[in-house]
Amino acid sequence: MNLNILVLPGDGIGTEVTAEAVRVLEVVCQKWGHTLNLKDALLGGIAIHKTGTPFPAETEKLALEADAVLMGAVGLPEFDEWPPEKRPERGLLGIRKAMGVFANLRPVRSYKALLDSSPLKNHLVDGVDMIIVRELNGGIYYGTPRGIYTDGPEPRAVNTMAYTQSEIDRVTRMGFELARKRRKKLTSVDKSNVLETSQLWRRVVVEVAKDYPDVELDHLLVDNCAMQLVLNPKRFDVLVTENMFGDILSDEGAILAGSIGMLPSASIGAKKPNGAWTGLYEPVHGSAPDIAGQNKANPFGAIGSVAALLEYSFGLVEEAAAVNRATEAVLTSGRVTADLKPAGTPATTQQVGEAVCQAL
């Protein structure tokens, strides 16, 4: 298979973890006989430095031409005081919008070797294996009217949560399709006892479910879901929810994995004629200026993003599983970075990448 991938290392540890993820991708392609065509482009702070904008037109063009995009992270402290529309993080919103990705998938799983790294008791975390599907293009983060109004007797702020039937329909179908390939269980999360958007959400989910009779569906209110994620996380297979609920719940899910450096993510758009999804793949963490340039960053989130890229954008399930098995083997061998190893000598970012390549 030909894999045309655009790589956007970004800023800080983004460049370090992406280098290891690319090495892993190269080994996979070598081993399974795929042709890898890699291109690099600028996004975030480095793009501001070199071109004056966080999301250059050239990057947009290359992203739209590629089969999939592998991203590191963006953000540099020197831009912290800049207005939001000029900051590196605006590059992220720009590329997500340009690629039309509407669902953010965050696989959350426990690894035996990392059970003690989670603040939860081992028996609660052992065996956790879920995917949180967060709607990415709608809801309160994008709704209008929005703003802070100062023309009345006192300042007043407004945000608007809005969803259309089709926005709910497409992300729900993605949740069902993922569940169908896993343990066939979908949990839809809403706040339908209070919000009209959630009432529509639930109505659409129930309607879509008729096309997936083989998948067991249940509904949870978001407050109860937040509780169940720490009380009984193993009950979840695929969880689908709107933008803001997903933002919050997926960070809660992160603690189950032991370190934020472990978590991959996939932002997925429309299906292509060959059945694969358009996708943007990146670790969940940011550019971590506190450890950038020190060869200390945990690359497993980026490497897991390669596994997701292989599976969702190319249907290469066997190759993806091999990357995940190699990850498990390296974790078990104890060659891990400092975030997972409070005592003893930690491995460097590069040593972990090398170990995964060897395990493959």
Binding interface with ligand NAD (CB under 6 A): 13, 17, 73-75, 89, 92, 260-261, 282, 285-291, 297-298, 301, 337, 339
Q: Specify the residue for token string 């069902």.
A: 176
CA distance linking residue 280 with residue 6, whole number of Å: 9
Answer yes or no: 116 catalytic: no
Q: How far is the CB of 264 from ligand NAD (least distance, A)?
A: 11
Query: Chain centroid to CA 133: how far?
Result: 9
Q: How far is the CB of 89 from ligand NAD (least distance, A)?
A: 5
Q: How far is the CB of 314 from ligand NAD (least distance, A)?
A: 23
Catalytic residue among 129, 185, 251, 341: 251
Closer to ligand NAD by CB, 133 or 262: give it: 262
Closer to ligand NAD by CB, 82 or 142: give it: 82
Closer to ligand NAD by CB, 187 or 267: give it: 267
**CB contact set of 323 (below 8 Å; sequence gap of 6+):** 24, 28, 303, 304, 306, 307, 310, 356, 360
Closer to ligand NAD by CB, 17 or 347: give it: 17
**CB contact set of 329 (below 8 Å; sequence gap of 6+):** 359
Answer yes or no: 339 catalytic: no
**Helix residue ranges per DSSP H, the chain:** 13-32, 45-51, 57-65, 90-99, 122-125, 165-180, 196-209, 222-231, 243-254, 300-308, 314, 317-333, 349-359
Answer yes or no: 251 catalytic: yes
Answer yes or no: 212 catalytic: no
Closer to ligand NAD by CB, 133 or 208: give it: 133
C-alpha to C-alpha distances, 47 to 43, 61, 65, 89, nearest whole angstrom: 5, 15, 19, 11
Closer to ligand NAD by CB, 160 or 294: give it: 294
Q: Which residues is 266 bridged to in the sheet? A: 105, 281
Cβ distance 353 to 136 under 8 Å? no
Q: Which residues is 289 bridged to in the sheet? A: none
The radius of gyration computed from the CA coordinates of the chain, to the nearest angstrom, equals: 20
What is the bridge-based pairing of β-strands 238-241 and 185-190?
parallel
Catalytic residue among 67, 111, 191, 212: 191
Q: How far is the CB of 75 from ligand NAD (least distance, A)?
A: 2
The SS3 call for residue 214 is coil
Q: How far is the CB of 261 from ligand NAD (least distance, A)?
A: 3
Sequence letter at residue 50: K
Catalytic residue among 80, 223, 272, 290: 223
Catalytic residue among 39, 126, 129, 141: 141
Cβ distance 276 to 316 under 8 Å? no
Sequence letter at residue 99: M
Closer to ligand NAD by CB, 188 or 250: give it: 250
Answer yes or no: 218 catalytic: no
Cβ distance 35 to 89 under 8 Å? no
Q: How far is the CB of 54 from ligand NAD (least distance, A)?
A: 11
Q: How far is the CB of 80 from ligand NAD (least distance, A)?
A: 7
Q: Which two tokens stand for residue 347?
A: 């491995």
Catalytic residue among 142, 169, 247, 271: 247
User: Which of the residues are catalytic?
Assistant: 141, 191, 223, 247, 251
